[in-house]
Structure 1
Amino acid sequence: MDGEASVRLAVIDMGTVTTRLLVADLGPDGLREVVRRSRITHLGDGWTGTGRLSSEAIARVAAAAAEYAGEAHALGAEEVVALATSAARDAANADELADALARSGIELEVVSGDREAALTFAGATYALGGDGTLVVDVGGGSTELVLGSSSAADGAPNVVAARSIDVGSKRITELFLHSDPPAPREIEHAQTYVTDELRPFFATLKERPRRMISVAGTATSLAAIDMSLDPYDPERVHGYALSGAAISDALERLASMTLAERKQVVGLEPDRASVIVAGALILQTALALSGLDSTLVSEHDILYGAALDRYASRVGRPAGGANGERG
């Protein structure tokens, strides 16, 4: 393939809470979105207690992925990359998800924690170069913490430290937050656990973060709540400076509500209401441990990182100065 040619690629990301699609054109000038979709499918429903993906969750995700793949091919995507992260990575029966996807012609890659962290960093820092950047991705099953720089001479990210930690909004909800609304003791126990799990990453850093970029549904939802967005506007969310005070205020407010009340909160997708308290708690903890007082919110995450990574492997160099497979 000519290194100067552009290519249309698709990425399907099957996370613990959401299944998402990106169709994009990639070339020497970077990445241009064609279509982006997101659907809450809760692949991780019940998996914290059983260690297995339920047949119902597999069916939901496989149906969404098949629909996404069909749309991507109809739009002319030359390749569809399908990734699954924490829930599938930890489940004893991830092969059942792979088999269900294969029936629709989709080949699944269950990514390691390290690879997930690297792809997330590449996506989050795309067009947002800077030294000492901490990228935080609060997922449903795990949280990725990546410190690095995206201001190298060739624009490619340089990861200094990366860790995928089994602390996610779905996992913490199922482990600790059983009351409706969550009881203060449940919140306290969850906070202690999350802090204990995240602290070692920060304790081993040789340099402190200069800024933090947060990606994925927890961060984008908290930004939308802070701005009272209705409907959701990704252009306003991308690059939004979310303060630690705003996260704390949102956590206190959301934790005091019943699930039914949280579903009515402006800016919050109703299907995310069940896990947003745990997600906010995790993000608040990561920000506090970083020593920073605010985080930028990015709409660019592992979807961008995976697309850039696949483009780089096809043409032999980064797209628009970002390469996903680092660290």
Structure 2
Amino acid sequence: MSDVREVRVAGIDCGTNSIRLMVATVGERGMRVEVPRIMRVVRLGQDVDKTHRFADDALERTYRAIDEFADVLREHPVDALRFVATSATRDAQNREEFEDEVEKRLGVRPDVIPGTEEARLSFLGATSVLHTQFGDQLPPAPYTVIDLGGGSTEMVIGGDGTDVSVDQVAAAFSMNIGSVRMSERHLLSDPPTRNEIDQAVADINEHIDEAFEKVPAWRTGTLIGVSGTVTTMTGIALGLREYDRDAVDGAVIGFADACSTCEKVLTMTRAERREYPVIHPGRIDVIGGGALVWNCVLNRIGDAVRDHTRRVLNSYVTSEHGLLDGIVLDLGRRTLAAR
């Protein structure tokens, strides 16, 4: 009989654009996925930047996905479930209605986490698989993880391995910029005008300036990008005919290729984006805003590293493992510790 201690847990990541579920067994030997990630684009954050309220149709789309997740969880009972809500829910004045309905349908109340906690969990998820992705040839620390969501973008840097362990957060900041927020706030034309793009860039750079006051991004040894925007940009940069999770996860993309891809996607019409199967249909109208944020972040971090250290940082690592993995791994570890 095995004496290995483990628990089965589930995590739900409810973001501004999508909602995701994962069920996994977490034990002393790590995490083993039991039910692969299920993702539904629900656009919960539709117009929240403007109205500060959830739209009725956005709530209905989200509830349908939650009911689907409830069916999956009935088939795969878990020891613990955590429902994490992020940027859109933080901003919505009618969030209590949403929280009550989620509790009624799932039996757990949403945990509306601050941006710093979102950053910590994203960092945990992204760095937990580096040995799987790279083996013993780990990329250089410190690791900076960028989680580019629909409503917010988290920037978090870990330790250098000397003063602070490489898998521990040294500094983090959450910026109120993302694919949905920038698209709804600035990129209103199809395709966006140069004036709209310039206004969005100014907005994004103000937030990056604020983040740099808290996060020493110039220390970055390896940049890791997570979220649907980043993985989509990577898929396009790789020339994939359709989205391939295995090809994208762990892919190293040069800044030059990434920025040209971002510029191309940003200036496409929505009809042109529909010709790219790599782009999820639910991202067609907001991926331009995400591409612009990613382009700005890459350029600003690359410049910061060069200006402060004279080193050249000209590529990033793509990760399919971010906030959701962090939610599940953290919940599993805490559940085990409580037993």
Show the counterpart of 2:73. Answer: 72
Counterpart CA distance in 2 for 1:78 and 1:251 is: 42
Show the counterpart of 1:320. Answer: none
Counterpart CA distance in 1 for 2:113 and 2:289 is: 24
Cα-to-partner distance string for 1:57-109 (whole Å, 9 max, x where unaligned): 11111220221132023123222211110000111111111122122134211
SS at match of 1:103: helix
CA contact (8 A) 2:233 2:262 kept: no
Counterpart CA distance in 2 for 1:104 and 1:117 is: 27
The yes-or-no answer on 1:274 pairing with 2:285 is yes
Counterpart CA distance in 2 for 1:147 and 1:252 is: 26
Counterpart CA distance in 1 for 2:194 and 2:246 is: 36
Counting only pairs closer than 5 Å after superposition, residues 2-81 of structure 1 correspond to structure 2 as: 4-34=4-34, 35-81=36-82
Counterpart CA distance in 2 for 1:269 and 1:188 is: 26
Show the counterpart of 2:309. Answer: none
* Equivalent position amino acid for 2:292 in 1: L
SS at match of 1:280: helix
Cα-to-partner distance string for 1:150-198 (whole Å, 9 max, x where unaligned): 8689978311110011011101111100101100111111111101111
Match of 2:331 among 293, 297, 310: 310
Counting only pairs closer than 5 Å after superposition, residues 145-156 of structure 1 correspond to structure 2 as: 145-149=155-159
Deviates more, 1:214-223 or 1:66-75: 66-75
The yes-or-no answer on 1:199 pairing with 2:209 is yes
Counterpart CA distance in 2 for 1:37 and 1:204 is: 34
Show the counterpart of 2:94. Answer: 93
Q: Percent identity?
A: 34
- After superposition, the Cα gap between the structure-2 partners of 1:52 and 1:303, relative to the gap in structure 1 and judged at 3 Å, is same
Q: Could you list the structure 1 runs, at least 4 aligned residues long, displaced by more than 4 angstroms after superposition.
A: 150-156, 203-207
Counterpart CA distance in 2 for 1:154 and 1:200 is: 23
SS at match of 1:39: strand
Deviates more, 1:67-76 or 1:110-119: 67-76
Show the counterpart of 2:234. Answer: 223
Cα-to-partner distance string for 1:30-82 (whole Å, 9 max, x where unaligned): 11122211111000111111000111111111220221132023123222211
* Equivalent position amino acid for 1:200 in 2: E
Show the counterpart of 1:295. Answer: 316
Match of 2:167 among 139, 157, 169: 157
Segments of structure 2 that go 5 or more residues without pairing to the other structure are 132-139, 303-312
Deviates more, 1:63-72 or 1:20-29: 63-72
Counting only pairs closer than 5 Å after superposition, residues 62-141 of structure 1 correspond to structure 2 as: 62-107=63-108, 108-128=110-130, 131-141=141-151
Counterpart CA distance in 1 for 2:6 and 2:242 is: 33
Segments of structure 1 that go 5 or more residues without pairing to the other structure are 318-327
The yes-or-no answer on 1:245 pairing with 2:256 is yes
> Structure 1 length as normaliser, TM-score?
0.91
Pairwise CA distance, 1:131: 2.5
Counterpart CA distance in 1 for 2:255 and 2:56 is: 39
> Structure 2 length as normaliser, TM-score?
0.87
Cα-to-partner distance string for 1:199-253 (whole Å, 9 max, x where unaligned): 2322454551111000010011011112233432211111011221122212222
SS at match of 1:66: helix
Deviates more, 1:145-154 or 1:7-16: 145-154
CA contact (8 A) 2:173 2:215 kept: no
Deviates more, 1:180-189 or 1:246-255: 246-255
Counterpart CA distance in 2 for 1:149 and 1:72 is: 36
- After superposition, the Cα gap between the structure-2 partners of 1:126 and 1:190, relative to the gap in structure 1 and judged at 3 Å, is same
* Equivalent position amino acid for 2:7 in 1: V
CA contact (8 A) 1:11 1:306 kept: yes
Give the aligned CA root-mean-square deviation in angstroms.
Answer: 2.2
CA contact (8 A) 2:141 2:221 kept: yes
* Equivalent position amino acid for 2:111 in 1: E
CA contact (8 A) 1:3 1:315 kept: no
Counterpart CA distance in 1 for 2:25 and 2:66 is: 20
Corresponding pairs, count: 316
CA contact (8 A) 1:62 1:97 kept: no
Match of 1:232 among 243, 248, 271: 243
